[in-house]
């Protein structure tokens, strides 16, 4: 059986360098290109890449994906910074290239995907919900893509269940003291040397709280999700948002 021809964009980065090693080690894949900043995107077509794993920066991801989709190269995207406007642009490129698939995964680790799933399940049972994400201080953006997605999922589940807005009578003397408001869910971002990627989802109601915590301790935790994404995206045209769509979560 022929091997899947995979390229990594952002190959010199924290997660990109780990992805290069993971693709090289996968029996069913061949690493055909490893691009860093300044490398020509045409390398991807010259190398015959079928899938590009995009792990760069929110400022770079759109140009890279536009090239990939226009050239029929499937995308597995971990880079953050997704807005409705960006997703609409990506969808317009995909409409013009209907056989091409792109997976955007706010988080490739199974623990983080389960955290989002559990948070969505719990959301309608508690009056209050807050998200705290904690990362290394070199992270590109805040709040994290995972925290934003978690808050959006909580808010959507609460809306669907007809829950009222959560109570908060606080008067803030200092802007930012209550975190960022993501669809009515406060999201707090901690940046601390020594950390990698962590998240707590806090739920509260009368007389009880529930805390869901996930810790990524090494970039290796993202690799099974990236490899699964590469295997599945080639047969999944259009946009898939979230690795959970490629997992059987029961
Ligand atoms: N979805 C997930 O599970 C995960 C997502 N991420 C996300 O992935 C992204 C990268 O994170 P991280 O590895 O920590 O960041 P790093 O800064 O360590 O790595 C990014 C790399 O991409 C390079 N780069 C930037 N622009 C381009 C470009 N146009 N073409 C090629 N290479 C480019 C950078 O080069 P230079 O150093 O020269 O700028 C750098 O080597 C972030 O958005 C992060 O949030 C991270 C971990 C998990
Ligand atoms: O930059 C990181 O490190 C991470 N970024 C992603 C995010 O913003 O959610 C995934 C994970 O948290 C690690």
Output the residue whose Cα is nearest ligand 2's atom 5: 144
Ligand 1 atom closest to Cα of residue 16? 13
Task: Look at residue 175 in the predicted model and tell me its pLDDT.
Answer: 92
User: The domain at 110-217 falls in which architecture?
Assistant: 2-Layer Sandwich (3.30)
In sequence order, what are the residues at sequence separation of 6 or more whose Cβ sits closer than 8 angstroms to the Cβ of residue 39? none
Return residue ranges of the chain for CATH 3.30.360.10: 110-217
- Report CA-CA distances (Å) from 135 to 10, 49, 100, 122, 214: 19, 32, 33, 24, 12
Task: Look at residue 211 in the predicted model and tell me its pLDDT.
Answer: 98
Burial 161-179 (b: 16+ CB within 10 A, else e): eebeebeeeeeeeeeeeeb
Neighbour-count burial of 10, counting CB atoms closer than 10 A to its CB (0-12 exposed, 13-18 middle, 19+ buried): buried
Asked if 223 contacts 18 with a C-beta cutoff of 8 angstroms, the reply is: yes
Q: What is the pLDDT of residues 104-152, one digit of tens each?
A: 999 999 999 999 999 999 999 999 999 999 999 999 999 999 999 999 9
Please list the pLDDT of the chain residue by residue as tens digits (250 residues): 899 999 999 999 999 999 999 999 999 999 999 999 999 999 999 999 999 999 999 999 999 999 999 999 999 999 999 999 999 999 999 999 999 999 999 999 999 999 999 999 999 999 999 999 999 999 999 999 999 999 999 999 999 999 999 999 998 889 999 999 999 999 999 999 999 999 999 999 999 999 999 999 999 999 999 999 999 999 999 999 999 999 988 7
Q: How far apart are CA 212 and CA 175, in angstroms?
A: 27
Ligand 1 atom closest to Cα of residue 61? 29
Return residue ranges of the chain for CATH 3.40.50.720: 4-108+220-246
Instruction: Assess whether 135 carries a catalytic annotation.
Output: yes
Superfamily, domain 4-108+220-246: NAD(P)-binding Rossmann-like Domain (3.40.50.720)
Nearest by Cα to 220 from 56, 138, 110: 110
3-class DSSP state for residue 32? Answer: strand
DSSP state of 189: E
Q: Which parts are annotated binding residues for NAD(+)? A: 10-15, 78-80, 105-108
Return the ligand number nearest the Cα of 225: 1
Q: Which parts are annotated binding residues for (S)-2,3,4,5-tetrahydrodipicolinate? A: 136, 145-146
CA–centroid distance for 106 within its chain: 1
Instruction: Assess whether 57 carries a catalytic annotation.
Output: no
Task: Look at residue 106 in the predicted model and tell me its pLDDT.
Answer: 98
Q: How far is the CA of 198 from the centre of ligand 2 (A)?
A: 9
Q: Which parts are annotated binding residues? A: 10-15, 78-80, 105-108, 136, 145-146
Output the residue whose Cα is nearest ligand 2's atom 4: 197
Ligand 2 pocket test: pick from 146, 152, 189, 194 the residue with the most ligand atoms within 8 Å of its Cβ.
Answer: 146
- Report CA-CA distances (Å) from 87 to 81, 156, 238: 10, 18, 11
Task: Look at residue 250 in the predicted model and tell me its pLDDT.
Answer: 78
Task: Look at residue 105 in the predicted model and tell me its pLDDT.
Answer: 98
Task: Look at residue 171 in the predicted model and tell me its pLDDT.
Answer: 87
Length, in residues, of the chain: 250
ipTM: 0.99
The encoded tokens of residue 166 equal 């959560």
Asked if 50 contacts 73 with a C-beta cutoff of 8 angstroms, the reply is: yes
> In terms of DSSP H, where are the helices of 96-222?
110-122, 145-160
The residue with tokens 């317009």 is 92
Q: How far apart are CA 49 and CA 7, in angstroms?
A: 6
Ligand 2 pocket test: pick from 19, 76, 107 the residue with the most ligand atoms within 8 Å of its Cβ.
Answer: 107
Output the residue whose Cα is nearest ligand 2's atom 8: 144
Q: How far apart are CA 67 and CA 95, in angstroms?
A: 14
The pTM score is 0.98
């Amino acid at each position: 059986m022929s091997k899947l021809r995979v390229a990594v964009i952002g190959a010199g980065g924290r997660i990109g360098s780990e992805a290069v090693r993971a693709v090289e080690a996968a029996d069913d894949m061949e690493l055909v290109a490893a691009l860093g900043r300044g490398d020509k995107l045409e390398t991807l077509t010259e190398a015959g890449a079928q899938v590009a794993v995009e792990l760069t920066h929110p400022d770079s991801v759109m140009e890279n994906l536009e090239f990939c989709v226009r050239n029929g190269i499937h995308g597995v995207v971990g880079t953050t910074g997704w807005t409705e406007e960006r997703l609409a642009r990506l969808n317009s490129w995909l409409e013009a290239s209907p056989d091409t698939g792109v997976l955007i995964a706010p988080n490739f680790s199974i623990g983080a995907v389960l955290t989002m799933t559990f948070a969505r399940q719990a959301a309608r049972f508690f009056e209050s919900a807050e998200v705290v994400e904690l990362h290394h201080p070199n992270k590109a953006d805040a709040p994290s893509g995972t925290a934003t997605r978690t808050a959006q999922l909580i808010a959507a589940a609460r809306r669907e269940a007809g829950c009222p807005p959560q109570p908060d009578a606080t008067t803030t003397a200092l802007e930012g003291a209550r975190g960022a408001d993501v669809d009515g869910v406060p999201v707090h971002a901690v940046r601390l040397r020594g950390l990698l990627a962590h998240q707590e989802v806090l739920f509260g109601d009368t007389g009880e709280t529930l805390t869901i915590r996930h810790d990524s301790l090494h970039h290796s935790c993202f690799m099974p999700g990236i490899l699964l994404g590469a295997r599945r995206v080639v047969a999944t045209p259009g946009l898939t948002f979230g690795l959970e769509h490629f997992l059987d979560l029961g």
